[in-house]
Structure 1
Amino acid sequence: MLLRCVILSVLCIAATSFVLPVVDNLADCAAPNGTDKVMHWWQCSSGPVQFLNATPYDSTGKQYEYPIHLSQPIVVKTQINNPTSTYVSPNLRNTVNIWKYGGWNGCTWSSIPTLGLLKDLDACANGVPCPVRPGNQELDVIIDFTKFDQIIALLKDNQPYQLEYILHDNQSGDTSCMMVQAWAFLK
């Protein structure tokens, strides 16, 4: 495990140095979709679970927080409509993809490699309160990058980021997806 962490850290540093040179000064770029003032989100799948709302809160889940802080857990209070299945561990899987704003092509979104660390995780053990039963409900999802120092090392403080949050249930085959664009701090 230690060897894997060392190898991933070296790969992340190499990716940051050679693969992802990004524009550090976003002065020439307007904040995408007003992310300097509010989190922007949309559903990126046809369901069956429909996301009706998403609001960022601090790690306690009690205080609205924006911009978000990626160096501590974030509670995203989502309002969902789940019309069909009950989702449970280990079948409910989660993948997160991340983009940074700015890069070689100017004011555009550039993918940040996560080296598979955020792919096909047990969603119920990684922030989704399970079981997720059918019905219209609030679902407080915890997004926690603090256990992934290799990914945090690739990010810069006080920048806009885009997250694709995918949930897939292996038993039913259902997939739901939400895209989030938010301004984020690391410190």
Structure 2
Amino acid sequence: MNMPINLKIALDNENTMFTHAFFRQTIKISELDEESSTWSEMPTYGFLNHMPACVNGPLCPVTVKSGEITMTLDLSSYKLWLLSLQNDVPYQFEIMMTDMV
């Protein structure tokens, strides 16, 4: 994850459009425990909370109400935290996008 990754996400948008100024996203990352077949949420220490979504996320404005969109996620600015992640382990991303108006 030292490079930007493209994610295809399912969107269920109750609003008509997300715009740049107040559009935020919170990202939760979980890793798979293969022994118990469960996901364990990784601590992100709050730095992936309420990030400006249009800066590091989907192309804005987001007008889709439901369906799939592609977004680019770049976590390379968190190099020290990325070093704590294991290689060759499946990760799950949960992305919550909100308009903070």
SS state at 1:124 partner? coil
Kindly indicate which of the two structures has a greater share of residues assigned to helix.
Answer: 1
Distance between the aligned counterparts of 2:12 and 2:29, measured in 1?
25
- Higher mean Cα deviation, 128-137 or 77-86? 77-86
Give, in angstroms, the shift of residue 153 of structure 1: 1.4
SS state at 1:149 partner? helix
Confirm or deny that 1:77 pairs with 2:8: yes
Deviations along 1:38-94, one digit per CA (max 9) or x if unpaired, are xxxxxxxxxxxxxxxxxxxxxxxxxxxxxxxx2221112346464642111221110
Distance between the aligned counterparts of 2:96 and 2:62, measured in 1?
15
Gap regions ≥5 residues in structure 2: none
Gap regions ≥5 residues in structure 1: 1-69, 172-187
RMSD: 2.4
Confirm or deny that 1:89 pairs with 2:20: yes
Give, in angstroms, the shift of residue 109 of structure 1: 2.2
- Alignment correspondent of 1:109: 39
Structure with bigger RCO (C-alpha 8 Å, 6+ apart): 2
- Alignment correspondent of 1:148: 78
The normalised TM-score by structure 2 is: 0.80
Give, in angstroms, the shift of residue 166 of structure 1: 0.7
Instruction: Kindly report which structure 2 residues correspond to 1:1-187, keeping only aligned pairs within 5 A, or say none.
Output: 70-78=1-9, 80=11, 82=13, 84-102=15-33, 106-107=35-36, 108-134=38-64, 139-171=69-101
Give, in angstroms, the shift of residue 135 of structure 1: 5.3
Distance between the aligned counterparts of 1:137 and 1:113, measured in 2?
29
Larger Rg: 1
Give, in angstroms, the shift of residue 149 of structure 1: 1.0
- Alignment correspondent of 1:50: none
Q: 1:165 to 1:84 in 2, by over 3 A?
A: closer
- Give the length in aligned residue pairs: 100
Distance between the aligned counterparts of 2:60 and 2:89, measured in 1?
32
Give, in angstroms, the shift of residue 129 of structure 1: 0.7
Percent identity of equivalent pairs: 29
